[in-house]
Amino acid sequence: MQEALLNKRVHVEPYHAGLWWRELIRGGVTLLFALLILFTFNFFIDVLGIYLILDGALEMLPTGRRASSRAFLTYLGSLVSIALGLFCLLDPTVSIFVLVVVVSIRLIIRGGRVMRDAQHSQYTYEGLTWLLGLVLLLVGLVFLGNAVWSALQHIVPFSLILIVLFMSSYALVDGLYLLLRGLLLRLKPAVFIASEGKAGSSPDLLADFPPTTRRAIIFVRYAGARGFGHVGWAFEWNNGWFNVGALENEEGTPITRPQEMGFWCAHTLAPIEDVQGRGMGYDAYKVLYVTRPRPKQAWRTVIWESRQPYAVLRHNCSDVVYDILRSYGTSGLLDPVEEPAPNDWYDALPGRSYLIADHPTIPLHVHQMSKRTLSTRETLLTIPARVQGTPPPWRVQGWRVWEEFDGMRDKMFRDLRTLFVETKARVTGQRDHSRQGQPHALR
């Protein structure tokens, strides 16, 4: 098997070059959306209304995701979401004021939480956290006051104009970035291959980690889902074995029953061999280190995930991997709502990406292993119906739509922060070159 993995080279450049059209389409759609919301407020409200209706309808599907004690509240929240969506479509004018009030209140709450977190922060930069919380709090108060005053004057609130301008500007920049990325993928794909280099440490446990540290692994198949990508998971048990699996959905339908969605999992000593033996195999993986792993809780989440129908929204391969590894105790995971495409979600995760062709094995640290020769290195699991799983707490709280809004807002702020930091670094670097009188490329 090892020899087969080594001979199965992954052609990264053809993959990147072959997906340039997807980025161009995404960029074009994003630019169109930016222009529409910039010049038509009603379009923005209509999109919000349709989104709320879809959110309520998805939550009311008989997926079995909700605990029975919370079923009534979940259905009530779904009905409220649908009602608000219909209200947005029927009366956009009033909906504008309701939207600004809701955004203002959530900004105030968010600012208070950020300031509370800063109070308990042990980092040296908590002053910036205090400043961010204070800004969010003041902006929320200003927006709320402006909404009340505008309602009394029967005019469009200025705070809504600021919100729309911010979203439109972000979408314009994002659309231009996607267009540029698509052109580079088509004309110069080598720009995006550097991050997959061979240099660096192996995916092993490092000596400076606590002895309780275990590994969580995320696998990616770049060409899956017609170029949007596909991901699978693995997490390490305390005895050194791994639980590995994925939701494959070979049917390719937007909604698939649990019995037909290709969900599989196994206990194994060779996680890469297992994922490579499934259909098309995978291309690369990232290793995340968990200092306080919760493998039993992750396993209960695996059981629960195996009984939920596949849905292209909110229960696709990225959602499953996110739920399982977050239950395992993995930090730094990005909510898939912030990067819906599995390839983009994988790229946004922290850590180095290892090509399976270059790193075809995961170093093992097996504890309390029998001295006898093992009869098997893999146990493919069939979960009996009597075994009960546990849904993650964040999947039974209801009002998923607000979590998604928060995720999109956090993504905007994070992208802007990244743009600011990179711009500052480039400007500072250029100034340093001019002082030292040497080209940037030679430094």
Domain boundaries, the chain: 12-185, 199-396, 411-442
Helix (H, G, I), strand (E, B) or coil at 333: coil
pTM of the model: 0.69
Judge whether 203 and 355 are in contact, CB under 8 Å. Answer: no
Residues 77-92, mean pLDDT to the nearest whole number: 81
Judge whether 346 and 283 are in contact, CB under 8 Å. Answer: no
| Angstrom distance (rounded) from CA 147 to CA 131 | 24
Residue type, 97: F
Chain segment 264-276, per-residue pLDDT in tens: 999 998 899 888 8
Query: What b/e readout covers 354-392, taking b as 16+ CB neighbours within 10 angstroms?
Result: bbbbebbebeeeeeeeeeeeeeeebeebeeeeeeeeebb
Greater pLDDT, 52 or 240: 240
Place of tokens 């698939």: 256
Among 16, 87, 84, residue whose Cα is nearest residue 55: 84
Among 44, 132, 151, residue whose Cα is nearest residue 89: 44
Judge whether 186 and 20 are in contact, CB under 8 Å. Answer: yes
- Please report the pLDDT score of residue 197 as a whole number: 41
How many Cβ atoms sit within 10 Å of the Cβ of residue 133? Answer: 20
> Where on the phi/psi map is residue 215: left (φ > 0), alpha (ψ -120 to 50), or beta?
beta
Query: In 270-341, which ranges are continuous DSSP H helix?
Result: 271-276, 295-305, 317-328
- Please report the pLDDT score of residue 399 as a whole number: 56
Confidence category of residue 234, pLDDT binned at 50, 70, 90: very high
- Please report the pLDDT score of residue 305 as a whole number: 92
- Please report the pLDDT score of residue 383 as a whole number: 80
* Sequence-separated (6 or more) residues with CB below 8 Å from residue 89: 45, 46, 49, 50
User: Radius of gyration (Cα) for the chain, nearest Å?
Assistant: 24
- Please report the pLDDT score of residue 440 as a whole number: 32
Confidence category of residue 194, pLDDT binned at 50, 70, 90: very low
Chain segment 324-382, per-residue pLDDT in tens: 999 999 988 888 877 888 888 898 888 888 988 888 888 888 776 555 555 566 676 77
| Angstrom distance (rounded) from CA 43 to CA 33 | 9
| Angstrom distance (rounded) from CA 404 to CA 393 | 16
Confidence category of residue 65, pLDDT binned at 50, 70, 90: very low
Residues 392-419, mean pLDDT to the nearest whole number: 64
> 236 pairs with which residues across the strands?
242
Structure tokens, 320: 């499953």
Among 353, 194, 206, 176, residue whose Cα is nearest residue 289: 206
Say how many Å lie between the first and final Cα of the chain, rounded: 44
**3-state helix vs strand vs coil in the chain, percent to 5:** 60, 10, 30
| Angstrom distance (rounded) from CA 280 to CA 221 | 8
| Angstrom distance (rounded) from CA 418 to CA 421 | 5
Chain segment 133-148, per-residue pLDDT in tens: 788 788 888 888 888 8
